Structure 1
Amino acid sequence: MKKSVFFTYHPKVVESMVRETPKTILGLVVLSVIFFLIYKDYIPNKLLLTWGILQSIFIYLRHLNAKTLGIYIKEGNTEKIRFHVKLFFALLVYSAFVWNIGAFVGVVYASSPYEYISFVLIMGLITAGALSLSSILSAYVMYFLLMLLPQLFLLSQYSDSVHHAIILLAIIYIPTILLLAKSINKNLVNHIEDNEALANSVDALHKLSITDGLTQVYNRHYFFETAKHMIELSKRENKVVSLLMLDIDHFKEINDTYGHQAGDTVLVTLAQEVQKMTRQSDLFSRIGGEEFSVLLYDTPLEDAKIVAQKVCNTVAAYDFFYKEQLIDVTVSIGVASIDKSVDSLDELYFHADQRLYDAKECGRNCVR
């Protein structure tokens, strides 16, 4: 069954409502105290106390609802957010019921013009709600109508022109405040979307700055910056770090024979295949041209040579095709590890590069 999207809102929109909740609760407490003080000499104590308890229950549940929503927003738990947004709607219905019950009881026990006081209090609530509830526009519209319509019905029971004039003014007020709420909501949503677009642009720029444009693996700059931190971490944790330096054999001949587009295809395919053989803790990068590096964390030299040989064998056995032409591709790999004589990235890189040179000298397609 397809889920309804009515209670599905952007987490940032819900988060905005949650942030406004303390102000809303403070306003409710103030208006509830004013209501109590105004009607304490008219409404029987038991009824007034019951109304106060109902109002207190709402304030507590609203606080709890906002607190719980805040937790699930941080966790990114969409299902729980939807559920508690539904509870939020239910609480608004409950709040409108309590306030209108108070207004009707006030009219019963207090003579005119006390109905105006209840009307003003409720108008103050729905006006303030335009600021605190407009982040979830449908919730505010529902709350607005549930609060105002019973008041208009109550005022319509009076036959004098003053009450009718107030009803007319309230009807004029309806589109004004709803348009204000819509405008606030639109500005909030636009602000959220603009911030997300900016964040996505920053993320995209960051990815471009650390990624090789052709092969989509890490680039040379990112390799040297990150490798330094990995080596420092390995020293603190007493772990061994090993470096593989890979170079495609006779790559110039591939470009000269099949064209540079074929060479690019080889680079991309080789990067994809080597990436499959690396762990999440490893650092795989394109250093430049046809040269790649793999920094293996917590990997002794002998284990690193096994990994290198596996890479070497896999590349040699892989069928590289470009426009249905089979291209023979092999790699030479130099391997070095951090030890007592090699304790920095520069030295590690130098030794691995020397081993790579040795592999080239020994006929290529091998590990040294």
Structure 2
Amino acid sequence: MEVADRRSSERGETNNLVIESRPVDIDRQGRRHGVTYRFLTMALETTRNTARLKIAIGVLCMSMTVLSVIVQFNPLGPQGLWPRAIHGIVAGSALLVGLAWIVRPWPSRPWAIAFVFWADTATAVGASMCSQPASQLGATNHLALIGIFAAFLLGWRVLAAHCVFATAVITALTLWNLHSGAATLSELYVYNAPAYSNVVFLPIVIQAVIEGVRKSIRRNAIAAHSDPLTGLLNRRGVQSAMRARLCREPRPAVVAVFVVDIDHFKEVNDAYGHDVGDSTLKRVADTLAAGIRQRDIAARIGGDEFMVVAFLDRSEDVDTVLGRICDAPLKTAEPMVSISVGSAWQYTYNEDFTFESLSREADFSLYEAKRARQSHNGTRACTCYPGYPGAQGQCDTNTCDTSTPRR
């Protein structure tokens, strides 16, 4: 194994955001962990539609305030002091929520679910304060908008809870009007049938369509950001993960990039065939992925080149990660393989910090490592044949300098 290291320095900050080194199985885990919501939020941000959607939702909420004021003066609206007061409180809350949507950042998934809970409750209370069956059941149609929001962003479980609640509200208002004699069943059918269709069935149909499209988009996005042979991220996936890591959350103190190259891989392919070459690539990928922390990134960025990106709290931790990569036993059968590693790190506080420049430095240090092998004078240079019969899976400590990386 050949190792070289380059670095830049100043100061930085810390953070503990988790980034998966492999593509996330969103279909299996997304609902529980909110991955789907984050995925859609990032898609909206990428297309610059987040601000537009925020404003649209805010305006719709505030329009409910205007509509409620008009209903206050309608004969079908609330009658009496308490119904008018409660209806007015609901209208005021809609104004505040609408303003929050416009001026506040895009909400997290728990806050989006809380918004659905508030909207369902406010609509149900506002509808029940009206004095006539027509206005009560007509007002429940606004629940359809909430269902569409849940279907698009929050998935089946939240939509199912919304539909159960909406069905209960419409059914309760229907039974109450039948019990009070305000209308007959045939008269109420004119209002509650459209309410059931719009509020319950329409969002379910929309959800089914959206879910199919969303799964297709997720599959395409994952395919575009991952390497099909090893399952690791590809170069584009690393860049996307880095943007998410550095833009959405406070930065870690240090970012370290390690470029790993399988030595003489072409000769392995020529001598043993592409099947053995592919198996070697997959096993090296598995070894790298197993040896990093969950918050770090492992990727295959070229034919026989891999990359590890580590997010560290201290520059002293760079050596630890480098040693972990160097000492990892490559679970490869014959033929014996060796790897060369080039590394570079930088404090994120630096004004000139970019992932691209850091990657170039790591590439250059990899070149230095390979050149050191050829000239037999490499600092921090050694050769490993992990997985080969008789090998211990470790660098020979007599030939490998594991001191602090040089500048």
TM-score class, shorter-chain normalisation, is 0.5 to 0.7
SS of the counterpart of 2:135? helix
Instruction: Please give the alpha-carbon distance, in whole angstroms, between the structure 1 residues aligned to 2:174 and 2:291.
Output: 62
Q: Which of 275, 283, 306 matches 1:292?
A: 306
From the superposition, tell whether residues 26 and 288 of structure 1 become closer, same or farther in structure 2 (CA, over 3 Å). Answer: closer
C-alpha displacement of 1:85? 6.9
1:71-82 correspondence to structure 2 within 5 Å: 74-77=107-110, 81=114
- Do 1:65 and 1:87's aligned partners in 2 also have CA atoms closer than 8 Å? no
1:88 correspondence with 2:102: no
Is the contact between residue 140 and residue 170 of structure 2 (CA under 8 Å) also seen in structure 1?
no
- Looking at structure 1, the residues matched to 311 and 281 of structure 2 have their Cα atoms a distance apart, in angstroms, of 24
Q: 1:191-210 residue pairs with structure 2 within 5 A? A: 191-210=206-225
Q: Is the Cα contact below 8 Å between 2:167 and 2:196 reproduced in 1?
A: no
Query: What do the CA deviations read for 1:72-123 (whole angstroms, capped 9, x no partner)?
Result: x94433998599579939x847964x656xxxxxxxxxxxxxxxxxxxx442
Identity in percent: 20
Q: Secondary structure of the equivalent of 1:245?
A: strand
Q: Distance in 2 between matches of 1:95 and 1:206?
A: 42
Aligned residue in 1 for 2:260:
246
Q: Distance in 2 between matches of 1:354 and 1:178?
A: 76
Q: Match for 1:60 among 89, 105, 111?
A: 89
**Correspondence 1:334-353 to 2 at 5 A:** 334-336=342-344, 344-345=357-358, 346-353=360-367
Name the CA distance, whole Å, in 2 between partners of 1:127 and 1:303: 63
Question: Whole-Å Cα distance in 2 between the matches of residues 293 and 241 of structure 1?
Answer: 13
* Number of the residue aligned with 2:324: 310
CA, structure 1 residues 224+178, in 2 after alignment: closer, same or farther (shift >3 Å)? Answer: closer
For residues 223-276 of structure 1, the C-alpha deviation after alignment (integer angstroms, 9 at most, x for no partner) is 57888x89x99xxx9976654332224545654666533432332232122123
Report what 1:130 is aligned to. 141
Q: What's the counterpart of residue 141 of structure 1?
A: 170
Structure 1, gaps ≥5 residues long: 1-10, 40-47, 101-120, 156-166
How far did residue 310 of structure 1 move?
2.9
Q: Are the aligned partners of 1:220 and 1:287 in contact in 2 as well (CA < 8 Å)? A: yes
User: TM-score scaled by structure 2?
Assistant: 0.52
1:263 paired to 2:292: no
Counterpart AA for 2:305? E
Q: CA 1:22/1:259 → structure 2, altered by over 3 Å: closer, same or farther?
A: same
Higher relative contact order (CA 8 A, sep 6+): 2
One-letter amino acid of the counterpart of residue 177, structure 1: Y
1:19/1:147 Cα in 2 relative to 1: closer, same or farther (>3 Å)? farther
Instruction: State whether structure 2 residue 338 is matched by structure 1 residue 330.
Output: yes
* Contact 2:260-2:305 within 8 A present in 1 as well: yes
Asked if the contact 1:242/1:336 (under 8 Å) is kept, the reply is yes
1:26, distance to aligned residue in structure 2 (A) = 4.7
CA offset digits 1:312-367 (Å, max 9, x no partner): 2213xx4435xxxx66443232345679xxx9454542332232343466573267
- Distance in 1 between the 2:203 and 2:368 partners? 59
Within the candidate set 383, 387, 391, 1:364 is matched to: 383
1:212 to 210, 227, 231: 227
Q: Contact 2:232/2:285 (CA < 8 Å) preserved in 1?
A: yes
Please give the alpha-carbon distance, in whole angstroms, between the structure 2 residues aligned to 1:147 and 1:257: 82
Equivalent-residue separation in structure 2 for 1:338 and 1:82 (angstroms): 41
Deviation of 1:298 (Å): 5.9
Task: Say if 2:73 is the partner of 1:33.
Answer: yes
SS at match of 1:77: helix
Give the Cα separation in 1 of the matches to 2:236 and 2:61: 47
For residue 35 of structure 1, report the CA deviation from its aligned partner.
Answer: 4.1
Query: How many residue pairs are counted as aligned between the two chains?
Result: 293
Q: CA deviation at 1:302?
A: 8.0
Report Cα offsets for 1:107-140 as digits up to 9, x if no partner.
xxxxxxxxxxxxxx44234234334468444044
**SS of structure 2 residue aligned to 1:292:** strand
The structure with the greater share of residues assigned to helix is: 1
Partner of 2:42: none
- 1:187 corresponds, among 202, 209, 212, to 202
Q: Distance in 2 between matches of 1:238 and 1:34?
A: 59
SS, match of residue 194 in structure 1? helix
Shift of 1:145: 0.4
Q: Describe the SS at the equivalent of 1:214.
A: coil
* Partner secondary structure for residue 218 of structure 1: coil
Larger Cα-atom Rg: 1
Quote the Cα distance in structure 2 between the aligned partners of 1:195 and 1:83: 18
| Between 74-83 and 140-149, the greater mean CA deviation after superposition | 74-83
CA contact (8 A) 2:255 2:310 kept: yes
Q: 1:61 to 1:334 in 2, by over 3 A?
A: closer
8 A Cα contact 1:243 1:349, kept in partner: no
Q: CA deviation at 1:291?
A: 1.9
Question: 1:289-316: CA deviations, max 9, x gaps?
Answer: 222233455699986455334322213x
Which of 365, 368, 375 is equivalent to 1:354? 368
Partner in structure 2 of residue 320 of structure 1? 332
Deviation digits for residues 27-57 of structure 1 (CA, Å, limit 9, x no counterpart): 45444434499x9xxxxxxxx7xx3124312
C-alpha displacement of 1:67: 6.9
How has the CA–CA distance of structure 1 residues 149 and 29 changed in structure 2, closer, same or farther, with 3 Å as cutoff? Answer: farther
SS of 2:228's equivalent? coil
